[in-house]
Structure 1
Amino acid sequence: MKRRHDAIAYAVSGIAILAFAVVLVFALWRLLETESEMRRNEGDNMLWAISQAQTATLLLDASLARRASGLEENTEVERRYNVLLSRLNLLSQGPQARYMADLGFAEPLAEDARAVRNLEDVILGKGSGAEEPPTEVHSVLGELERDLGRAANESMVAHWDRTGARLDRQREAILQVIVSILAILALGVFLSVTMLRALAQKERMRRTLAREQEVAEIYRSFVALVSHQFRTPLAVIDSSMQRLQRQGDSLSREDIQERARRARTEAQGLARLVDTTLDAIRLEGGGIAVEAQDCDIAQLLERVRERQLGVTPERSITLSIADEVPPYIRTDPLLVEQVLGNLLSNAVKYSPDSETVGLSVRAEDHRILFSVTDRGIGIPQDEQDRLFSRFFRATTAAGTRGAGIGLSISHQLAGELGGDLRFESRSGLGSTFTLALPNL
C-alpha cells in the first residue's frame, strides 16, 4: 500500500511539474507573439505614403496655377512634378503595390499615373498652351487627388479594423498570459505544498526512527539493568536465606545477624532501584507536580547532608554557603532535596572513601547555584553528551552498583523547577554538578 501511495505521489508531482513547464512555455510564447504584433505598423506607413502622394498632387496643381499667373517659375513646377512621380512610384512597387491592390485602388492609381505621364510635356511647359494650366491637366490631377483621398480613407478604415482586431488579439493574449500566470502560481503552490509535506513526512519518519532507536536503546539498557542490578541483590538475598535455612542451627548469633544485615541492605538497594524506576515513569507521564514555597536554604542543605551521612556516616561532606546567598528561595523543597540528594549520593558512591565531598551554594545573575563536587572517577569526554540519557552509565562506573536513571531524573526535575542541571568533569579527576534555580 505504501509503495502504491508513493507511486501515486510521484506521478502527481511529475504531472504537476510537466504542466508547470507547459504553461510557462505557453505564456512566454504568447508574450513574444504579442510583442511582435505590437511592432507591426505597416498600416500607419501606408497611410502616410498615400497622404504624401495626395499632398504632392495638390501642390503640383497649385504650382501650375501660379505659373499660369506668372507667380511661379517653371523649375518649381518641375520639382513638384518629380516629387509626385516619386510618391506614385513608391505606391506602385513592392509591398505598397500589394497593399493598394488589397484596397482595390491599384488599377485606378495606375491609370491616373499614366494619364499624368501622358501630360508630362504640358505640365513641364514644353508643349503649347504652357502659359495657362490646361483644363485637361487640372482634371487629371483632380481625379488623381480624389482617388488618393479615397485610398487614404480606405487605408484608414482598414488600419482601424486591423488595429481593433490586433487589440482584440492582444487582449486575448494578455488574458491567456494572466490565466497562465495564475495556473503557474497554483502549480507552484501545489508543488511547494507537496514538497513541504514530503519534507514534513520525512522529518516525522526521521523522528519516529530516532524515537524507535531511543526506545530500543532504553529497552536494551533496561534489560541489562534488570539482568544485573536487580538480579545481583536478589542473588545475595537468596544465598543468605539458603545458608540460614541449611545451617541456621549451627550458625552463631553474630553470623546470623551479619547475614540478615546483608540481606536487608540488598533489599533496601533493590527497593531504591524500584523507587527510582517508578520516579522516572511518573516524571515521564507528568505525574509530578511542583509546589513552590519559601525554603530556608541553609536548612535545606543541612537536611540533604544529614540524610547522606545517615547512609554513609564514615564519609566527610563539607557544607559551604556564600555570603551573597539570600536566606530563602521560593521553590519546591522536596524536589530540590531529591535532586541534591541524588547528586550527593553519586559523588559519595563514585569517589574514594578518603576523599571529601563538597556541597556548596552561591548566587549569580538572579539565580541560586547549588553545587556538588567530588574527586572521584570522573566521566570520559566522549561520553559526557549522553550522561543525562536514561539508563546510561559511563564506562568508568563499571563495577559500581547503579541504575543509570538518577541523573536523568535529576535533569528532568531541574527543568520542572524552572532551572537547569549542568556539570564539569574530567576522567580520573572528579566532577562538579550544579543545579541552577531562578531566584524569584
Structure 2
Amino acid sequence: MKRLRFAAQINPTKSEIAHEPRDAEVSFLPMEAVGDDGSLNLERTRPIGEVETGYTYFREGDVTVAKITPCFENGKGAVMRGLVGGFGFGTTELTVARPRVGLTSSEYLHWLFSSSPFRSLGEASMYGAGGQKRVPEDFFRDFAIGLPALAEQTAIAAFLDRETAKIDALVAEQEKLIALLKEKRQAVISHAVTKGLNPDAPMKPSGIEWLGAVPAHWAIMRLKRDLAFITSGSRGWAEYYADDGELFIRIGNLTRETLELDRSDIQRVSAPAGAEGERTVVAPGDLLFSITAYLGSVAVAPEGMEKAYVSQHVALARLTGAKLLPRWVGYIVLSAVGKTYLDEQAYGGTKIQLGLDDVANMTCIVPPLEEQKQIATALDKLTSEVDSLLAEAECAITLLKERRAALISAAVTGQIDVRGIAT
C-alpha cells in the first residue's frame, strides 16, 4: 500500500525546461483538447515564453486529470503522448501525475484515475461552490493505492486497453443503431405528413418548393386559419415557483422526437390570480411550441393532464379543430418540412427565436380530418415501436458502460488477476 505521492510526482515543477529557448514551440492544451475518453487534440502549439506563466506544465509520459467539476466527474484526463518537443502547457484546471521511474507506469495510473473508487472519492473531496468545485491537490497526494509490481501494472493496462476497446465498439454499434432509428422515424413521419398512407393517391404540385407534390385532395393553409388563439407566458414567473404548485412547462419539457411531454425535470408554480395566470393555462389538446431554443420541439397536451402553465419560451396554440387536429399538426412540426419552415423563420444572433406570428403562419398540409386521424394514429404506433427499440439500445449502452466501469475498478484494485490473460 502506498500513497499516490510515493508512486508519482504530483504537479512537477517546470524548472526542468528553464534551459529551453523561450521561442521553442510546445503543445498547448485548453480543457476542450482533453477528451472524456483519454484522447488528446494536439493541434495547438505555443512558444514556451507565452505559456510558461499562468498555465499547467507537463511533459511526455505524464498523466493529467481534470480537477474542476463537471470535467472531473466526466472523466477528462489522458496520458500525455505525442507532445511537440516532448513538453506541453495547458489549462490550470489539470492536475499532473508523473510516474516514478521503475515504480509506476503511465498507462496504469491513467486507468487508476479512470476507476470508480478514485472518481467517487475525488468527487466527495471537492471544495468550492457550484460550477467552481475542485478536487484538492492533497487528495491526489494522499490517495492510497495497492500498487502492484510494474510488470503487473503493464499487464493490467494491456488487459484494460483490449477489453474496454471491445466494450467501446459495442457501445458505438448501439449508438449507430440509435442514430439510424431516429433517422428512420423522421423519414417515416416526413413521408406520411406529405404523401399520406396511400401510395396510389393522385398527386399535385403544392406550389411550395421545399414541400413538393402532395396528394391531390389535400389542401395547403396557414396554421392561423384554424387557431382559436395563440399565446406564451410572461417574464417573471420565477417568483411564483412552488414545490406544491401546478405544472410549469418549459422548453426542456418538449422534445424534437415525440409529441409527449418530458416530465423528467418538471418545475411547479403557484400562478398569479387573474388574467396573467389564466391566459397561459394549458388545456388538453393544446399545441406547445419552443420559440427561443431547440426550434422544432413540440408537444400535445394529453387528456387528463393536471393544471399546467407555460413559460415565456413556450408558445401555446389552441386549435378550433374545424380543419386541423393537434396531433396531426404536431407531426408536421416533427417532420423535415416543419423543421425547414421553422428554421427559415428563426431570427436573432446568438439567441435564435420565433415570434408568435411565425408559429401562427406555419404552412400546414391539410388532409380531411378523418385522414389526419388515421395517419396520426399510424404514426403513434410506429413511433411507439421505434421508441421501444431506442429504449432497448439505450439500456444496452447503460449496461455496457456499467460493465466497463466495473471491469476497470476490478482490474486496478486487484479483484481480478489478469497476469495470465493480458498477453
How would you bin the TM-score normalised by the shorter chain? under 0.3
User: As a proportion of its length, which structure holds more strand?
Assistant: 2
Greater RCO structure (CA 8 Å; 6+ sep): 2
Tell me the TM-score normalized by structure 2: 0.21
User: As a proportion of its length, which structure holds more helix?
Assistant: 1
Q: Which structure would you say has the larger Rg?
A: 1
Tell me the TM-score normalized by structure 1: 0.21
